[in-house]
Amino acid sequence: MRISDKDISGCAIAGILCEDGRRISGETVTRSIALMRERSNGLGGGFAAYGIYPDYADHYCFHVLYDGLGEPGREEAERIIDFYFEVEHDEPVPIRRVQEIGHPPRFRRYFLTLKQSVREEYYDLSETDLVIKAVMKINGDVANAFVVSSGKNMGVFKGVGYPEDISRLFMLEDYKAYLWTAHGRFPTNTSGWWGGAHPFGILDWSVVHNGEISSYGINRRFLQDFGYECTMFTDTEVIAYICDLLIRKHELPVEVAARAMAPPFWEEIDSGRSPSPELDRALRIAYGGAMLNGPFSIVVGFTGGMFALSDRLKLRPASAARADSTLYVASEESAIRAICPDPDEIWNIDGGVPVIGRLRQPAATEV
């Protein structure tokens, strides 16, 4: 078969949530995403992991990418970090040499608590808003420094390469998490670079995405009104910020936020054929700038849960499965069966209908 004969849907996504709090090795999700290797082209792979830093569970953890020789931007980035935070501990993110990756940039992680003096100076902002303020300042003002994740007890590991190679680079088999998401990238309208790989994160939100957000310009302008700055040069970044805005700041339930991002069409609402016409009409009016247009399927991770969502027309495929207390999602059913051969149930995700999993008890045990 020639490559031109293949219908390319672009990108691979996967997620595993152990709702009973078990923490599993990154090797498992790596096997799932690796099965979909032909959906990516080596220009991006990455993972988000939750529950990996139990010794610093109450600290914000910044994973910072320093893009270039000699860690340019580190001094300026650390000056911003030192202004906002007390640094409990910092260290390089451990990596091993992987021939397929070449010469990766440097990653460093910082375990942080917000300074009392900053709380008092910016008394009108919440703690989480101040963390975002620090992230936006580094990503917007510091050349060659990018905060790729900033939540508590979680982290994003990503770069230019196939996802299984990125997993080996960061030695993810040594990490234990109750929630893993993964991505294999096939960029179509932006360049492949380390900061542009998925997942995209802000606070504890992380997003992996297959598709294209044609509403990026509208979404970006909408987010700017709320203080978010998009600096990673790809459409997926807006999804992470929209999740943060709708669910954390505006306190919408996940089900309602998903409905705002992928609402029914106006003709369904006006005809009364949508399940909740009044709610849907209000969401489209209030959150028109948060609506995602274009073909997409996404997996969103957050502390205590995960949800998957496809566009209303279901132009990008996604499947989900359950086995005992574990929820699986992936671009292809085969990627789920690779790690869960006999699930209790398995189904194709309906367009515009979120599949939601939640942690039922604190993460504790390991397998």
Q: Are 194 and 158 in contact (CB under 8 A)?
A: yes
In a domain, 238, yes or no: yes
Q: Specify the pLDDT at position 161.
A: 94
* Total count of domains within the chain: 1
- What is the rounded distance in angstroms from the CA atom of residue 226 to the CA atom of residue 82? 25
In a domain, 310, yes or no: yes
Q: Specify the pLDDT at position 5.
A: 46
> Is-catalytic flag, 243?
no
In a domain, 6, yes or no: no
Other CB atoms within 10 A of residue 249 CB = 14
HEC profile of the chain? CCHHHCCCCCCEEEEEEECCCCEEEHHHHHHHHHCCHHHCCCCCEEEEEECCCHHHCCCEEEEEEECCCCCCCHHHHHHHHHHHEEEEEEEECCCCCCCCCCCCCEEEEEEEEECHHHHHHCCCCCHHHHHHHHHHHHHHHCCCEEEEECCECEEEEEECCCHHHHHHHCCHHHCEECEEEEEECCCCCCCCCCCCCCCEEECCEEEEEEECCCCHHHHHHHHHCCCCCCCCCCCCHHHHHHHHHHHHHCCCCHHHHHHHHCCCCHHHHHHCCCCCHHHHHHHHHHCHHHCCCCCEEEEEEECCEEEEEECCCCCCCCEEEEECCEEEEECCHHHHHCCCCCCCEEEECCCCCCEEEECCCCCCCEC
pLDDT tens readout for residues 131-169: 999 999 999 999 999 999 999 999 999 999 999 999 999
Q: Specify the pLDDT at position 6.
A: 44
- CATH number of the domain that 260 lies in? 3.60.20.10
In a domain, 1, yes or no: no
Range of the domain at 184: 11-358
Low-confidence spans in the chain with pLDDT less than 70: 1-9, 69-70, 188-190, 362-367
In a domain, 320, yes or no: yes
In a domain, 363, yes or no: no
110: which strand partners?
62, 90
Q: Specify the pLDDT at position 235.
A: 87
In a domain, 5, yes or no: no
Q: Which two tokens stand for residue 235?
A: 């459409």
In a domain, 66, yes or no: yes
Q: What burial letters (b/e) apply to 48-63, b meaning 16+ CB within 10 Å?
A: bbbbbbeebeebbbbb
Catalytic residue of the set 11, 61, 243, 340: 11
- What is the rounded distance in angstroms from the CA atom of residue 225 to the CA atom of residue 223? 5
Q: Specify the pLDDT at position 252.
A: 97
